[in-house]
């Protein structure tokens, strides 16, 4: 390895270790931190994350990148450089050949493929970081901190007006951030290609702009609404037995047994409890997931465990060659969600899965499940019911919650909707799309934390995850034809192997579009997802 490259790796791994240390502090904050410890913890995080940022914007990194032939992609060519089509010919091939085509233009062609990918991805991270002035970074952090607290209060009191000025400021800052990154600005402030909102979408899901997402989500919304209407006309399955008493300690024990059965390796990962389930990576062999249990419903705890387990499987399947580098992470929110939602929904809510697990589940909960058979249980697990709250939504209506947020975000950023008008627009969209009227803003526009953290353009990832996931799943079913039988036997090896080799091992080496095209030979599409839902729910509801 040449000296410049070795030095660049050393600088990168140092800041990665700092980021992982910060992740450990954040994990502790959500799981075990004594309540009054939060104040000092905030200071510690500010110091550690500040140093991690400082290490990333180190000018020496910029010089090394230059010498190694890194050429920044601009917002204008970014979609082409990182989007589908760029390197797809080689995606999915053996890792040493990965991303040849796309990488050659961006980092010295005399480097091995892995190193070219490293230089390209670190270069992009470096550019994104140095494009933001330090004062602006500090102002964002301060505003987001205050806004999150204000949002929590506003939600408690269902008082949108108290949160509105914060949201307005957050939108100004988000737009400014996108402009620093080269998106939007006066010439493109009215939306359209290369608007600020495109830049925010690109941050979470490189290579997809608002127009492309809208072209997918519009028809998807119609098809889901049609399916929902049919389901609403059919008699709902019995599910009273899900609301009996399910001892929380036993839920935990069952979740651990399921995780072990799914191949969750306790030498490299662990499960804890927190107020909101999440997954975080603390090291190459250290991934933490969390869940929370409800005594009167065993499903939320379990499906959170499987969902977060799906995120963990991705992080635990990275090529060891990526260890401690900026490549050692899932490539995007959307691809990450494709893995978690595939495990949670496509596998975890399938008939085959429950044929495998229901007998075990009954040994933990014989009393509340007395007289219930696996088919009844499977139907109850997949009951479709309208809810005003996204995180409580069933598999069919879930995406409609997300599409609603995407459409409102678009309008907030193209100037056709003001923050003051947002609650009314929210309620109208909710009524139109799901037939639901939230009882107040707390269960309406204020329900999610994302906007208060300045995370605009994040929501679409959830639906993109569904789309990627089913495109992957169709290919997996072709490659592993007896998947259903394996799931019934609780044998997940072939599924893990295929996901690891085709998708997970690459980390950030391949862009989402490259991955998708390499694996499926196709562009992003909602068809497999809708096909999957239509088949499953036609069967379930006899419609």
Provide the minimum distance between the beta carbon of 324 and a copy of itself in the complex, in angstroms, as a whole number.
Answer: 7
Provide the minimum distance between the beta carbon of 29 and a copy of itself in the complex, in angstroms, as a whole number.
Answer: 10
Q: Which of 256, 190, 201, 234 is CA-nearest to residue 78?
A: 201
If one asks whether residue 41 binds a copy of itself (CB under 8 A), the answer comes out as yes
Active site residue 329: no
For residue 472, how many other CB atoms are within 10 A of its CB? 24
Q: Hey, CA dihedral for 291, 295, 298, 300, is it positive or negative?
A: negative
| Cβ neighbours of residue 69 closer than 8 Å, sequence gap 6 or more | 107, 108, 109, 110, 111, 119
Coil, strand or helix: which one is 98?
A: coil
**Taking CB under 8 A as the rule, which mask of x and - marks residues 293-332 in contact with a copy of itself?**
-------------------------------x--------
The pairs formed by 370-379 with CB atoms below 8 angstroms and a separation of 24 or more are 372/241, 375/351, 376/237, 376/238, 376/241, 378/351, 378/354, 379/237, 379/238, 379/239, 379/540
* CA angle, residues 28, 499, 528, in degrees to nearest 5: 110
Coil, strand or helix: which one is 291?
A: strand
Say which DSSP state 297 is in.
Answer: B
Provide the minimum distance between the beta carbon of 39 and a copy of itself in the complex, in angstroms, as a whole number.
Answer: 7
Residue (283 or 465) nearer to a copy of itself, CB: 283
Residue (51 or 479) nearer to a copy of itself, CB: 51
Residue (197 or 314) nearer to a copy of itself, CB: 314
The stretch among 19-27, 345-353, 373-381, 484-492 that binds a copy of itself (CB under 8 A) is 19-27
Q: Which of 409, 526, 412, 517 is CA-nearest to residue 463?
A: 526
Map the footprint of a copy of itself across residues 257-296, applying CB under 8 A: 266-270, 272, 282-286
The stretch among 14-22, 342-350, 410-418, 436-444 that binds a copy of itself (CB under 8 A) is 14-22
3-state secondary structure 213-279: HHHHHHHHHHHHHHHHHHHHHCCCCCCHHHHCCCCHHHHHHHHHHHHHHHCCCCCCEEEEECCCCCE
Tell me the backbone φ, ψ of residue 294, rounded to 5 degrees: -115, 130
Provide the minimum distance between the beta carbon of 323 and a copy of itself in the complex, in angstroms, as a whole number.
Answer: 8
Among 1, 6, 47, 161, which residue sits at the site for a copy of itself (rule: CB under 8 A)?
A: 47
d(CA 50, CA 105): 32
For residue 367, how many other CB atoms are within 10 A of its CB? 10
Coil, strand or helix: which one is 404?
A: helix
Q: Which of 503, 528, 63, 136 is CA-nearest to residue 319?
A: 503
d(CA 24, CA 18): 10
The stretch among 9-17, 57-65, 251-259, 456-464 that binds a copy of itself (CB under 8 A) is 9-17
Residue (13 or 148) nearer to a copy of itself, CB: 13
Map the footprint of a copy of itself across residues 369-388, applying CB under 8 A: none
Tokens representing 502 are: 């085709």
Among 7, 30, 51, 244, which residue sits at the site for a copy of itself (rule: CB under 8 A)?
A: 51
d(CA 537, CA 533): 6
Residue (45 or 214) nearer to a copy of itself, CB: 45
Provide the minimum distance between the beta carbon of 8 and a copy of itself in the complex, in angstroms, as a whole number.
Answer: 16
Provide the minimum distance between the beta carbon of 254 and a copy of itself in the complex, in angstroms, as a whole number.
Answer: 19
Provide the minimum distance between the beta carbon of 18 and a copy of itself in the complex, in angstroms, as a whole number.
Answer: 6
Residue (54 or 66) nearer to a copy of itself, CB: 54
The stretch among 45-53, 365-373, 502-510, 530-538 that binds a copy of itself (CB under 8 A) is 45-53
**Taking CB under 8 A as the rule, which mask of x and - marks residues 210-249 in contact with a copy of itself?**
----------------------------------------
Provide the minimum distance between the beta carbon of 200 and a copy of itself in the complex, in angstroms, as a whole number.
Answer: 31
Provide the minimum distance between the beta carbon of 24 and a copy of itself in the complex, in angstroms, as a whole number.
Answer: 6
134-156 and 160-180 are packed helices; what angle lies between their axes, rounded to 10 degrees?
A: 160
Residue (288 or 411) nearer to a copy of itself, CB: 288
User: Residues binding a copy of itself: what is the number (CB under 8 A)?
Assistant: 36
Provide the minimum distance between the beta carbon of 441 and a copy of itself in the complex, in angstroms, as a whole number.
Answer: 31
Contact between residue 270 and residue 305 where contact means Cβ atoms under 8 Å apart: no
3-state secondary structure 455-468: CCCCCHHHHHHHHH
Map the footprint of a copy of itself across residues 20-39, applying CB under 8 A: 20-21, 24-25, 28, 32-37, 39
Among 40, 238, 478, 482, which residue sits at the site for a copy of itself (rule: CB under 8 A)?
A: 40
Residue (31 or 176) nearer to a copy of itself, CB: 31
Residue (46 or 57) nearer to a copy of itself, CB: 46
Query: What b/e sequence results for 326-359 when a residue is b if at least 16 CB atoms lie within 10 Å of its CB, and e otherwise?
Result: bbbbbbbbbbbbbbbbbbbbbbbbbbbbbbbbbe
Residue (40 or 96) nearer to a copy of itself, CB: 40
Residue (7 or 41) nearer to a copy of itself, CB: 41
Provide the minimum distance between the beta carbon of 102 and a copy of itself in the complex, in angstroms, as a whole number.
Answer: 30
Length of the chain as a residue count: 543
Among 5, 8, 48, 464, which residue sits at the site for a copy of itself (rule: CB under 8 A)?
A: 48
If one asks whether residue 186 binds a copy of itself (CB under 8 A), the answer comes out as no
Catalytic-role residue among 308, 315, 329, 395 = 308
Largest CA distance in the chain: 70
282 sits in which H/E element: strand 279-283
User: How many separate helices (H) and strands (E) can be counted in the chain?
Assistant: 22, 3
d(CA 140, CA 499): 37
Chain residues binding a copy of itself by CB under 8 A are: 13-14, 17-18, 20-21, 24-25, 28, 32-37, 39-41, 43-44, 46-48, 51, 266-270, 272, 282-286, 324
Catalytic residues: 308
């Amino acid at each position: 390895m040449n000296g410049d490259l070795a030095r660049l790796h050393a600088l990168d791994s140092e800041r990665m270790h700092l980021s992982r240390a910060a992740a450990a502090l954040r994990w502790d904050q959500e799981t075990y931190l004594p309540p009054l410890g939060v104040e000092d913890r905030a200071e510690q995080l500010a110091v550690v994350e500040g140093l991690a940022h400082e290490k990333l914007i180190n000018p020496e990194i910029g010089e090394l990148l230059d010498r190694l032939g890194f050429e920044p992609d601009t917002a204008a060519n970014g979609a082409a450089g990182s989007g589908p089509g760029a390197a797809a010919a080689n995606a999915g091939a053996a890792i040493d050949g990965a991303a040849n085509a796309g990488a050659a233009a961006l980092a010295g062609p005399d480097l091995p493929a892995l190193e070219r990918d490293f230089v390209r991805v670190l270069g992009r991270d470096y550019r994104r970081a140095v494009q933001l002035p330090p004062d602006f970074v500090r102002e964002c952090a301060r505003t987001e901190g205050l806004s999150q607290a204000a949002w929590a209060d506003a939600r408690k009191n269902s008082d949108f007006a108290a949160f509105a000025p914060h949201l307005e400021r957050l939108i100004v800052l988000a737009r400014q951030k996108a402009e620093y990154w080269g998106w939007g600005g006066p010439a493109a402030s009215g939306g359209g290609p290369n608007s600020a909102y495109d830049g925010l979408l690109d941050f979470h899901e490189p290579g997809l702009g608002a127009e492309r997402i809208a072209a997918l989500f519009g028809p998807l919304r119609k098809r889901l609404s049609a399916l929902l209407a049919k389901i609403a006309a059919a008699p709902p399955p019995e599910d009273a037995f899900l609301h009996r008493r399910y001892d929380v300690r036993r839920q935990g024990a069952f979740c651990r047994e399921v995780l072990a059965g799914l191949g969750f390796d306790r030498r490299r990962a662990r499960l804890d409890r927190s107020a909101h389930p999440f997954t975080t990576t603390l090291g190459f062999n250290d991934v933490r997931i969390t869940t929370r249990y409800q005594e009167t419903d065993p499903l939320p705890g379990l499906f959170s465990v499987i969902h977060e387990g799906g995120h963990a499987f991705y992080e635990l399947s990275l090529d060891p060659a990526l260890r401690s580098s900026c490549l050692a992470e899932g490539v995007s929110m959307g691809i990450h969600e494709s893995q978690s939602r595939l495990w949670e929904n496509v596998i975890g809510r399938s008939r085959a899965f429950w044929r495998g697990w229901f007998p075990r589940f009954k040994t933990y909960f014989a009393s509340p499940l007395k007289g219930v058979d696996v088919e009844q249980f499977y139907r109850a697990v997949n009951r479709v019911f309208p809810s005003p709250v996204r995180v409580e939504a069933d598999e069919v209506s879930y995406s409609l919650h997300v599409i609603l947020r995407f459409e409102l975000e678009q309008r907030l950023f193209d100037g056709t909707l003001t923050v003051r008008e947002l609650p009314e627009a929210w309620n109208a969209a909710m009524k139109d799309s799901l037939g639901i009227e939230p009882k107040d803003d707390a269960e309406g526009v204020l329900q999610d934390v994302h906007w208060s953290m300045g995370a605009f353009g994040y929501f679409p990832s959830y639906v993109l995850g569904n789309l990627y996931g089913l495109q992957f799943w169709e290919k997996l079913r072709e490659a592993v034809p007896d998947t259903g039988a394996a799931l019934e036997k609780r044998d997940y090896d072939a599924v893990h192997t295929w996901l690891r080799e085709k998708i997970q091992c690459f980390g950030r080496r391949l862009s989402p579009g490259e991955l998708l095209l390499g694996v499926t030979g196709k562009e992003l599409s909602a068809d497999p997802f809708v096909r999957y839902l239509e088949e499953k729910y036609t069967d379930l509801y006899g419609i």
